[in-house]
């Protein structure tokens, strides 16, 4: 009963926060599209593959490793070591983040011209680089609280980050209007930094109170080195996997505008199409996934616990309930988006193109929402390499659609490639889970 209560409570908190931040982000995207236009949103979205790649390099792997280590220490009653692990992870991630910041600033022009194929992104990358040290602090402290199975601080920090990001951009925009200054989409990138700064300060205050410097001064260098080896041993494989996946995603993202030009579009048209897809249509499709993402977060430790107890019947029942529920949610969303997708695109985003993409992508919903939970359950039974292979295969299908289908059918070819990749994940995950539950039964 306690386990169920923890899952329900954690899922509820994360879901409510996820809905709140996505709701805010939904209207934030509308504001960006109205203020900077489709091409401006396209430029803004183009730097996100670099953001995701640098985030994976600096703190994504160590956050998961820290969460696992903290959970183990708390089970053993080693509270002091748990706190030392957190301080060590902060030291490691902030150090790496500072290096990444300097490297990104040094090579921003080259990355923009060679990798992103858009020189105008250079200034955006320089601005973006300042976010990573603060993102590392935020990520590590959230990993610490997840290890404690406490979702309150991570959930509130997520809300604080989104609020600070949107409010800072809006205030800068109003300042520009009043003083006759025309800001470009760079202020949206600056909003990312504002969100990370405020959320990291909130997390530090929640963790350490007002005596932040005094608490950090208690860090012991020798103990830090001991914990560094442990954290790096666990985090490096996770980091390598995340980096590889993000590299594939980055190749996919930056290649879409280039292949659209091969289809016959101009540079401005290709950026507008890319901006509409990634900045308007996809966020709309992903909006309800706040529920399934929260369930996925709580499912992983639950499945691991059931597996350790060897309760196959309970695990089979959990798989069925979660799968049916997610398919039902996805089907309802699919019908809703098919019915109102054109209205959302034309009225809310002022982009009929966005409405067309929403209607096409709506068919993904039953598979997309279910896949998050299926992958989480596969990770929960310890098959992380398998989930990596599944995700890599899905990205492979999408990349093939970028290079082969876009030049033939335009962005529609990529949309159908997205659908095919989600269907493949769905079928493969279900097939493996059925195999796993039947063997040795």
Distance CA 414, CA 397 (A): 10
Q: Which residue has the higher pLDDT, 29 or 200?
A: 200
Q: Which residue has the higher pLDDT, 370 or 115?
A: 370
Q: Which helix (H) or strand (E) holds 200?
A: helix 186-208
SS3 string of 325-381? HHHHHHHHHHHHHHHHHHHHHHHHCCCHHHHHHHHHHHHHHHHHHHHHHHHHHHHHC
Residue of 182, 183, 141 lying closest to 161 (CA atoms): 141
pTM of the predicted model as reported, rounded to 2 decimal places: 0.71
Selection from 38-42, 72-76, 179-183, 318-322 with the highest mean pLDDT: 318-322
User: Looking at residue 43, what is its pLDDT?
Assistant: 83
Q: Is the pLDDT of residue 390 over 90?
A: no
CB 263 within 8 A of CB 407: yes
Q: Which residue has the higher pLDDT, 351 or 219?
A: 351
The token pair at 53 is 């790649």
The token pair at 378 is 């596969």
Q: Give the number of residues written for the chain.
A: 441
Distance CA 284, CA 195 (A): 22
The pair phi, psi for residue 77, each rounded to 5°, is 80, 15
What DSSP string runs through 276-287? HIIIIIHHHHHT
Q: Is the pLDDT of residue 246 over 50?
A: yes
What value does the mean pLDDT of the chain take? 83
Buried b / exposed e along 328-362 (16+ C-beta atoms within 10 A): ebbeebbeebeebbbebbeebbebebbbbbbbbbb
Residue of 297, 430, 432, 277 lying closest to 366 (CA atoms): 430
């Amino acid at each position: 009963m306690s386990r169920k209560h923890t899952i329900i409570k954690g899922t509820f908190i994360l879901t409510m926060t996820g809905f709140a931040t996505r709701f805010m982000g939904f209207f934030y995207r509308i504001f960006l599209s109205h203020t900077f236009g489709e091409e401006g949103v396209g430029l803004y979205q183009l730097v996100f593959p670099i953001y995701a790649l640098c985030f994976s390099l600096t703190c994504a792997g160590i956050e998961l490793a820290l969460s696992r280590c903290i959970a183990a220490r708390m089970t053993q009653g080693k509270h002091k070591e748990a706190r030392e692990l957190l301080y060590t992870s902060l030291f490691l991630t902030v150090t790496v983040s500072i290096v990444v910041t300097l490297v990104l600033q040094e090579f921003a022009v080259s990355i923009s011209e060679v990798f992103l194929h858009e020189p105008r992104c250079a200034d955006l990358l320089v601005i973006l680089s300042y976010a990573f040290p603060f993102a590392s602090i935020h990520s590590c402290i959230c990993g610490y609280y997840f290890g404690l199975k406490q979702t309150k601080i991570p959930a509130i920090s997520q809300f604080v980050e989104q609020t600070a990001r949107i409010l800072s951009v809006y205030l800068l925009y109003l300042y520009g209007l009043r003083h006759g200054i025309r800001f470009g989409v760079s202020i949206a990138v600056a909003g990312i930094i504002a969100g990370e700064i405020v959320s990291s300060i909130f997390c530090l205050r929640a963790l350490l109170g007002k005596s932040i410097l005094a608490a950090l001064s208690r860090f012991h260098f020798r103990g830090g080195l001991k914990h560094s080896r442990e954290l790096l041993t666990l985090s490096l494989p996770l980091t390598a996997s995340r980096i590889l996946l993000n590299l594939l995603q980055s190749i996919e993202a930056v290649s879409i505008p280039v292949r659209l030009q091969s289809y016959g579009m101009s540079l401005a048209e290709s950026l507008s199409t890319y901006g509409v897809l990634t900045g308007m249509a996809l966020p709309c499709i992903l909006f309800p996934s706040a529920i399934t993402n929260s369930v996925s977060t709580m499912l992983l430790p639950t499945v691991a616990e059931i597996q350790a107890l060897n309760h196959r019947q309970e695990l089979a029942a959990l798989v069925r309930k979660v799968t049916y529920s997610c398919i039902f949610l996805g089907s309802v969303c699919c019908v809703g988006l098919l019915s109102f997708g054109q209205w959302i695109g034309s009225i809310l985003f002022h982009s009929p193109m966005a409405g067309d993409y929403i209607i096409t992508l709506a068919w993904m919903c039953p598979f997309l929402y279910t896949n998050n939970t299926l992958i989480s359950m596969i990770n929960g039974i310890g098959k992380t390499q398998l989930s990596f292979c599944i995700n890599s295969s899905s990205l492979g299908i999408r990349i093939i659609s970028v290079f082969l289908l876009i030049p033939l059918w335009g962005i529609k070819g990529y949309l159908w490639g997205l659908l095919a990749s989600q269907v493949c994940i769905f079928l493969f995950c279900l097939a493996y889970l059925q195999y796993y539950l039947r063997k040795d039964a």
